[in-house]
Amino acid sequence: MKQLRKIFLSVACLTALGFSQYAAAEIYKIIDADGKVTYTNVPTKGAKKLDIDPPPSNGASDTPKNAKTPTPASFPRVDKETQSARDDKRREILQAELAAEQQALEQARQAYIEGESVPEVYKGANGKTYRNVAKFEDKMKRLQADVDTHQRNIELLQKELQSLN
């Protein structure tokens, strides 16, 4: 039990320290007569204030997202003709993906229509046929999700192609 308590306190303290990057609270460490260590943000008699360095930067900067940074001199350059050929190849690939995605969307729509016309049924113990509404709704959700995925992919591919123009 004592070991479990120490583990819990350690996890709680580490969690509190993890959140300290968002707050400028002071942290105090208290060791009681039994040797139990407690961390707190409340100054208490006998507590020792910890000097904690701020967390390391995550690489984010204060510059706006649209601010352009200069290209380093050592960065490889590509002539206009090579870049144009690369752009053309990229456009071809995107158009082929778009055509395949449009075909997949049409197939998904057809599967949805077919799925809608075929209800899910089961035979009861008495030999009668009953509709399985939950199974039907689950099937239709999956078919609709497939249609939605292909529609979204088409939108993204069209957006990407427009950015090339």
Better-scored residue on pLDDT, 45 or 56: 45
DSSP annotation of 102? H
Q: Is the pTM of this model over 0.75?
A: no
Q: What is the pLDDT of residue 51?
A: 81
Segment 16-43 mean pLDDT: 74
What is the Cα–Cα distance from 55 to 22, expressed in whole angstroms?
10
What is the Cα–Cα distance from 29 to 32, expressed in whole angstroms?
10
Q: What is the pLDDT of residue 15?
A: 62
What is the Cα–Cα distance from 37 to 16, expressed in whole angstroms?
14
Q: What is the pLDDT of residue 20?
A: 47
